[in-house]
Chain A
Amino acid sequence: MMGISIANSVPTKEGRFGQFGGRFVPETLMTALLELEAAYEEALLDPAFIEKLAYYLEEYVGRETPLYYAENLTKALEGAKIYLKREDLNHTGAHKINNAIGQALLAKRMGKKKIVAETGAGQHGVATATACALLNLECVVFMGAEDIKRQQLNVFRMELLGTKVQSVESGSKTLKDAVNAALRYWVTNVEDTHYILGSALGPHPFPKIVRDFQRVIGVETRKQIVQKEGRLPDAVVACIGGGSNAIGMFHPFVDDESVALYGVEAAGSGLETGKHAAAIAGGQLGVLHGAYMYLLQDENGFVQEAHSISAGLDYPGKGPEHCYLHDIGRAQFDSITDAEALEALQLLSRTEGILPALESSHAIAYTAKLAKTMAKDQVIVVCLSGRGDKDVHTVRAALGGDVK
């Protein structure tokens, strides 16, 4: 297999990652997807577009983000050296802005004046609202009624940024229903509206576009770790809901056989309880929101609700490229429970003075386990995808008001 790049071989022009992905959408959206694909490929070849994106990532988002050696955490765990890729230091507090800015610039280039997006916890909604405020685009964000209740502050943040937040009252009233509503809105307003999908999910070309805009995480990390350690890391760890921070981090390392890739799913109350969001560990192959992927569903093909303390991981499917990396054995997927994530959140807060998002805490928890199995001269890089300020209420409630 020498010389053959796995990373660059997918997706195919049909949008397939192995058997995964594709374009399972109503006909009304097909032309929009084909136009988006063509506009995107064209933009990539335009130096002015690339330059503009680089400008905003540097001057507005605050890239590049540091690759921080977590010395205290490393010492506490007595294992491999741990580096944190500080995506939490981006403007708006998470990696989501990388993709939101990229797609908003693309929408402007396509002459679309309106944006629709979905959001779960509100991070992608805030990032999209921010990019739209910056680039003078009209924005509507769909959010499940349950999530609106849980994330009042993010709703208000979006409104301050000039975005209209629409409550979704159907189905389970969470992220998957927000995607349904955003897709319906897009079908109805496709002529003047672009859909900024927030994760590495959905119909082709979204999984590729989101991956490409998030690749900056892995590209910077690769350069930074070589500067600091003189070599590539032994392991790379990222949490995975739909999988946008993980694919952005993994992709530049996929062809480096010496680098182990670990994706961490949310095990919620535990895989055995059925209350989790681990589609790779506990789902079957299926189609939702345009893509063939691992999906939480019952024997009738009805989609099941995902469960996680972290709203950003609370989605019943996994992005098609992750499903593919799992099937070919290039990445390993494991899961972390709510309780383990809460513990890791406290561990990182105490040892490093960094309050991670609940999503990222899953990656930290897995890293804590992994580091102990590795030698002290080995190196792990973790994607710290977001900051935890948004989760303080949830964490406080989960810990019963007591921090251990």
Chain B
Amino acid sequence: MTTLQQAIEQAKAAGHKAFIPYIMAGDGGLETIKPTILKLQQLKVTAIEVGIPFTDPVADGPTIERAGERALAAGVTLRSVLQTLASFRDEITVPLVVMTYFNPVLAYGLKPFAQACVAGGVKGLIVPDVPLEESELLREALNPYGIDVVQLVSLTSPPERIARIAAASQGFVYAVTVNGITGARSRFANNLEQHFASLNQASPIPVLAGFGISTPEQVKKMGALGDGVIVGSAIVTALHEGDLATVEALVAASKGMLEKSTL
């Protein structure tokens, strides 16, 4: 079992749902990365998704796009983020998952990128513009370094495809809960239960829900569908505004949730 999956299984064993916050690395400058990660680690999150800014973030909504623009304006790059992580590597105990578009990884070079990930304590990688068909290259390059490549499943993925993605994904399966881009939402489709039921059955590894989850109520509701949640835009907004209370409330919502089998 990989480090990432182990962290999720531990949360489950303790009666919690996994909670992975997404941060835009360097929103507010590179120097914000260390205190942000250490604070989230202190709140006992399951893992942290470290977002890398990109010029053309096609899977992201306005909140993360703006945060990315602020980070880009501060000169933040994939390289400088990984260097920053390496600088306080010894203090990091929570698994880190890098979320980046593919082109910065290509420009870095797959092998140097994998080595820099190891130096920064990175245990997983999410690349939203690399679907199953193009993902083999990433697994070949990163698995030898102990880094999981997480694949996404969407509401539009048919059952046969869901099974193949779940079989290929590592650490967990990232289940996109909306047709659309990242960002807060008040409504979700009403066939989510059915979608997650078949996804949970098909997947040999944990299933985490993400996209559009922005309130403690949604954390509970969406968390119940699988093994946990990923919260992005709401965390990014709260951190940008220095609103730690909201971050704490979101994390707290994932704690002590009963396993869905006992509901």
Q: Which residues of A contact B (CB under 8 A)?
A: 14, 22-32, 170-171, 176-177, 180, 183-184, 187-191, 284-290, 295, 297, 299-303
Contacts and interface: CB of A to CB of B under 8 A. Distances in A.
B262 to A, nearest CB: 31
Size bracket of the B interface: 35 or more
Q: Which of B58, B106, B161 has the most CB of A within 10 A?
A: B58
Nearest to B153: A27
A256 B56 CA distance: 39
Contact of B106 (A26, A177, A285): A285
B13 to A, nearest CB: 29
B33 interface: no
A190 B131 contact: no
Main secondary structure of the interface of A (DSSP, over half): mixed
Nearest to A302: B55
Contacts of A176: 56
A290 B108 CA distance: 19
20 contacts: A22-B133, A22-B134, A26-B128, A26-B131, A27-B153, A27-B154, A28-B154, A30-B157, A171-B56, A180-B58, A184-B58, A184-B59, A188-B180, A191-B179, A287-B129, A295-B103, A300-B104, A300-B107, A301-B78, A301-B103
A23 to B, nearest CB: 6
A301 B113 CA distance: 13
Interface in B64-106: 65, 69, 72, 77-79, 101-106
B6 interface: no
B58 A183 contact: yes
A285 B106 CA distance: 8
B120 to A, nearest CB: 16
B144 interface: no
B252 interface: no
Given A187-B179, A302-B72, A27 B134 contact: no
B106 A287 contact: yes
A188 B181 CA distance: 7
Contacts of A32: 156
Nearest to A35: B156
Contacts of B110: none
Given A287-B101, A301-B103, A302-B103, 13 more contacts: A24-B130, A26-B59, A26-B128, A27-B151, A27-B157, A27-B165, A31-B157, A31-B158, A187-B180, A191-B156, A287-B103, A300-B107, A301-B104
B45 to A, nearest CB: 24
Interface of B: 54-59, 61, 65, 69, 72, 77-79, 101-108, 128-134, 151-158, 161, 165, 176, 179-181
B181 A187 contact: yes
B104 to A, nearest CB: 4
Contact of A23 (B59, B131, B155): B131
B103 A297 contact: yes
A184 B179 contact: no
A28 B156 contact: yes
B235 to A, nearest CB: 20
A28 B129 CA distance: 10
B106 to A, nearest CB: 6
Q: Which of B72, B101, B102, B129 has the most CB of A within 10 A?
A: B129
Contacts of A289: 56, 58
A26 B152 contact: yes
B211 to A, nearest CB: 9
A301 B108 contact: yes
A143 B108 CA distance: 31
A23 B133 contact: yes
B116 to A, nearest CB: 13
A290 B104 contact: no
Contact of A24 (B104, B134, B156): B134
A302 B71 CA distance: 13
Contacts of A288: 56, 103
B54 to A, nearest CB: 7
Contacts of A189: 179
A187 B59 contact: yes
B58 A302 contact: no
A188 B54 CA distance: 21
B65 A170 contact: yes
Nearest to B211: A28
Given A180-B58, A299-B107, A300-B79, A25 B131 contact: yes
A303 B56 contact: yes
Contacts of A29: 156
A31 B156 contact: yes
B55 A303 contact: yes
Nearest to A177: B56
Given A295-B103, A299-B107, A26 B154 contact: yes
Contacts of B72: 302
A27 B59 CA distance: 10
Contacts of A286: 103, 106-107
Contact of B55 (A23, A171, A184, A190): A171
